[in-house]
Amino acid sequence: MFELAVELIDETPALAIDWAVVSRNVAAMAALASERGVALRPHVKTHKLIPLAQLQVACGAVGVTVAKLNEAEAMAAGGISDVLVAYPVVGSSKLRRLLDLAASGINLAVALDSAPAALDLAIAARARSLVVPVLIEIDTGLRRCGVQSAAEALELARLADDQHGTSFAGIATHEGHAYATSGAEGLRQATEDAAGAMREVAQALEDAGLPAKTVSMGSSGTARFGIGLEGTTEFRPGTYVFNDRTQVALGAAAREECAAAIVATVVSRAVPGQAVIDAGSKVLTSDRMLVANPRPTFGELADDPDCEVVRMSEEHGILGGGAVERLAVGDRVAVLPNHICPVVNLFDSVRVLRAGNVERWPVDARGSV
Amino acid sequence: MFELAVELIDETPALAIDWAVVSRNVAAMAALASERGVALRPHVKTHKLIPLAQLQVACGAVGVTVAKLNEAEAMAAGGISDVLVAYPVVGSSKLRRLLDLAASGINLAVALDSAPAALDLAIAARARSLVVPVLIEIDTGLRRCGVQSAAEALELARLADDQHGTSFAGIATHEGHAYATSGAEGLRQATEDAAGAMREVAQALEDAGLPAKTVSMGSSGTARFGIGLEGTTEFRPGTYVFNDRTQVALGAAAREECAAAIVATVVSRAVPGQAVIDAGSKVLTSDRMLVANPRPTFGELADDPDCEVVRMSEEHGILGGGAVERLAVGDRVAVLPNHICPVVNLFDSVRVLRAGNVERWPVDARGSV
């Protein structure tokens, strides 16, 4: 894996993307959603790349999901015409940017979970003669965002629907808590339970005369169990385009389906039993594995999984285990990270391996606002 | 703390810098080094800001320390004329960039710990009729980089001095392992032990006819004990300009000496007992506290230390404890992070509070290469 990247990339640390693997991952998820009759709306927070979003849409995605307005703006600039902002848009400056996008003619919806967020959005949209579709976020167990009951969902849906400026479009959840369960069976059960909770809310809304046109859930780790569960209309996986150690540990991806690796250089062998590479926490991030019983390591070599990043400083990754003794100062290695999403967000550009060449692509939506 | 930032900054998440506090921190460290007769060479990896490096030099720093060539290039562009690259420069592309800087006329030295790194540097420098001063990195306990004995240091010093293209300039260590010791006494002891180890190496080098002109150590956490220890000539603290929860926990800074905070907005209160802010791991990083017995939290409110970031997703920070119940959707908060250095590296710009105004400054050396 990544032999070509290790050979061709001129400077390290670099983030290498194997486009053949990406293409297969994108096609496989699109096929699964198509087979099971569910709309696919991938989350682009993982890759933040316009061309990759375009590929996802070309393969059948109905649109994309974003967390931040800079992601939405980049996607719109790239011609993506249907965007769900799966994050409450709060504050006048952010609302202005959101409505600028809505006014540009793309289909734009927002997920939120509070009356203040819904009302401020409605007031701002009304002032510009716009109507923004709203999804009510439901907490199905992650305990992050999301209303806590069907009654709360109904109250907020009614509020959104009653206001000029917003319309009630459906409900959404992210079943990320399933990652912390034990094994495939725990993951499957948590995913099914989340879908069940969504069905209950949808039923209550329908009974009240406010049917949820969209019932949206999704994550890459739960995709194989969650895509097409009864009552859901849409699925929003993100990480599956690249995968990482966490997705492999979850059983959601084979190791060969990891499409992104950090290419690094061995800079020191002075301390016995270890090698130091030029990829530390400012490259790999300090994210632990998002699964039960995480091993506190921060990466593994693509061609030697037993050789792991056992410690880090900001610019130093300490490799230990496996065949670490074979490494010499100046050697290049490819590292699979625990969690690829925040790694992409650290790079201004990625190096895309395609047809035997390396191309440099900007990370179009890097950053935090 | 940061009341003005919370009030004035238009969009979140934003990284706010209180310039009055920065100025005091810079002046205090400069005064300490001056009193104790040691050269101060601050590490700019913390801030990556040209104007702040200029302030450090204006306050008496002999130059700066960098980890990456993009940091060195930014500093040179900002008129900083003396730069130590405290990191092995490995690979032809990186050596070319290093020598471009050396050729531009600034004083540039490199710390390294291996014969391959020393030889490649010498060959590349010789080809351009340049001579690069080399510091030999010594491992005084961090077990990261650094030769393991005085004998190894002597061998490498001799190699560097014998080559056309390099000259032996001294020895360097980073006593970061002191952070993991217990309490102030452990920190002091580890710092003194590191200085003692450096004296032994320096003595062996002098006995062999290769006196170390520079004997460099340093970190912010150890500065109060380490600056001016016998036999050292230079100290390289970084984090002290901003400080963070780790420096406060180490006793190296008072809470009021924290000069950087993340301004965030409450976006959800739907889950009882918590508030969600728009600063998660893509803003705060997943860094734990770099001290013994770390609490696994990721930040605390500047005006309510008991209200902490207890969990995170990429774009969500979950606040719990303290007066969290007072928070409403739309409220702004200022968060002190565990470790400020990688946080700065996530932002394209910082918002500098100075004389009652907010200025936006680019993070000149953001990124990884």
Pick the closest to residue B1 from B275, B254, B341 (CA basis). B254
Asked if residue A10 has pLDDT above 90, the reply is no
Fill in the amino acid letter for B141.
G
Distance of CA A330 to the CA centre of its chain: 34
pLDDT for B81 equals 97
Angle between helices A150-162 and A183-207 (to 10 degrees): 50
What's residue B292's pLDDT?
59
Chain B interface includes A356 (CB < 8 A):
no
Which residues, 6+ apart, have CB-to-CB distance to A68 below 8 Å? A45, A87, A365, A368, A369, B315
Mean pLDDT across chain A: 96
Write out chain B residues lying below 8 Å of A139, CB-based: 270-271
B293 contact A CB<8A? no
What mean pLDDT do residues A170-195 have? 94
pLDDT at A292 over 70: no
Residues of A in contact with B270 (CB under 8 A): 113-114, 137, 139, 145-148, 152
Q: Is A369 helix (H, G, I), strand (E, B) or coil?
A: coil
Q: Please tell me what DSSP assigns to residue A58.
A: H
B residues 2..21 contacting A (CB < 8 A): 10-14
Q: Does B328 touch chain A (CB under 8 A)?
A: yes
Domains and CATH numbers, chain A: 3-15+252-362 (2.40.37.20), 20-242 (3.20.20.10)
Lookup: tokens for B85: 């690259």
Q: Could you report the per-residue pLDDT of A230-280, keeping only the tens digit for each?
A: 999 999 999 999 999 999 999 999 999 999 999 999 999 999 999 999 999
Residues B255/B18, Cβ–Cβ less than 8 Å: no
Do the chains contact at B12 and A315, CB–CB below 8 Å? no
Nearest in space to B12 (alpha carbons), one of A369, A74, A100, A145? A369
Q: Given CB atoms, is B251 within the 8 Å cutoff of chain A?
A: no
Select the residue from A278, A318, A333, A350 to test the B interface by mutation, using most B Cβ atoms within 10 A.
A278
Contact assignment for B93 to A10 by CB distance below 8 Å: yes
Q: Which of B287, B285, B265 is nearest to B276 (CA)?
A: B265
Compare A152 and A182 and report the one with higher pLDDT. A152
Distance CA A2, CA A29 (A): 22
B166 touches chain A (CB under 8 A): no
pLDDT 10s digits, A278-288: 999 999 999 99
A139 near B CB under 8 A: yes
Please state, in angstroms and rounded to a whole number, the distance separating the CA atoms of residues A234 and A6: 38
Amino acid A366 reads R
Taking an 8 Å cut-off on Cβ atoms, the answer to whether B45 and A283 are in contact is no
**Chain B residue numbers touching A285 (CB-CB < 8 A):** 281, 285-286
3-state SS of chain B is CCHHHHHHCCCCCEEEEEHHHHHHHHHHHHHHHHHHCCEECCECCCCCCHHHHHHHHHCCCCCEEECCHHHHHHHHHCCCCEEEECCCCCCHHHHHHHHHHHHCCCEEEEEECCHHHHHHHHHHHHHCCCCEEEEEEECCCCCCCCECCHHHHHHHHHHHHHCCCEEEEEEECCCHHHHHCCHHHHHHHHHHHHHHHHHHHHHHHHHCCCCCCEEEECCCCCHHHHCCCCCCCEECCCHHHCCCHHHHHCCCCCHHHCCEEEEEEEEECCCCCCEEECCCHHHHCCCCCCCCCCCCCCEEECCEEEEEEEEECCCCEEEECCCHHHCCCCCEEEEEECCHHHHHCCCCEEEEEECCEEEEEECCCCCCC
For chain A, positions 177-196, list CB contacts with chain B under 8 A.
none
Does pLDDT of A141 surpass 90? yes
DSSP codes joined into one string, A249-283: HTTSS-GGG--EEEEEEEEE--STT-EEES--HHH
Q: Please return the burial class of A296, using the count of CB atoms within 10 Å of its CB with bins 0-12, 13-18 and 19+.
A: exposed
The pLDDT-based confidence of A181 (bands split at 50, 70, 90) is: confident
pLDDT at B289: 84
Query: CB-based contacts of B28: which residues, under 8 Å, 6+ apart?
Result: none
Closest CA to B264 of B339, B310, B338, B318: B318
* pLDDT > 90 in chain A, percent: 95
Work out how many CB contacts closer than 8 A connect A with B: 186
> B280 CB near a chain A CB, below 8 Å?
no
- CB contact under 8 Å between A267 and B93, yes or no, is no
Close Cβ partners of A51 (under 8 Å, ≥ 6 residues apart): A78, A361
Q: Nearest-CA distance from A350 to chain B in Å? A: 12
3-state secondary structure of A300: strand
Nearest by CB to A345, from B12, B67, B282: name it. B282
d(CA B53, CA B282): 26
- Predicted confidence pLDDT, tens digits, chain B (369 residues): 899 999 999 899 999 999 999 999 999 999 999 999 999 999 999 999 999 999 999 999 999 999 999 999 999 999 999 999 999 999 999 999 999 999 999 999 999 999 999 999 999 999 999 999 999 999 999 999 999 999 999 999 999 999 999 999 999 999 999 998 878 999 999 999 999 999 999 999 999 999 999 999 999 999 999 999 999 999 999 999 999 999 999 999 999 999 999 999 999 999 999 999 999 999 999 999 866 556 689 999 999 999 999 999 999 999 999 999 999 999 999 999 999 999 999 999 999 999 999 999 999 999 977
Structure token pair of residue B226: 């380490």
B245 inside 8 A of chain A by CB: no
Strand partners, A351: A16, A360
pLDDT of residue A74: 98
Tell me how far apart the alpha carbons of residues B337 and B54 are, in angstroms, rounded to a whole number: 25
pTM for this predicted structure: 0.97
Listed residue (B1, B47, B12) closest to B266, CA to CA = B12
Please say if the pLDDT value at position A350 is more than 90. Answer: yes
Q: What is the interface pTM, i.e. ipTM, of the complex? A: 0.97
Rounded distance, CA A254 to CA B121, Å? 41
Name the B residues in 50-69 with CB < 8 Å from any A CB: 67-68
Q: What is the pLDDT of residue B295?
A: 66
Query: Before A13, cis peptide (omega within 30)?
Result: yes
What is the CA B206 to chain-centroid distance, rounded? 30
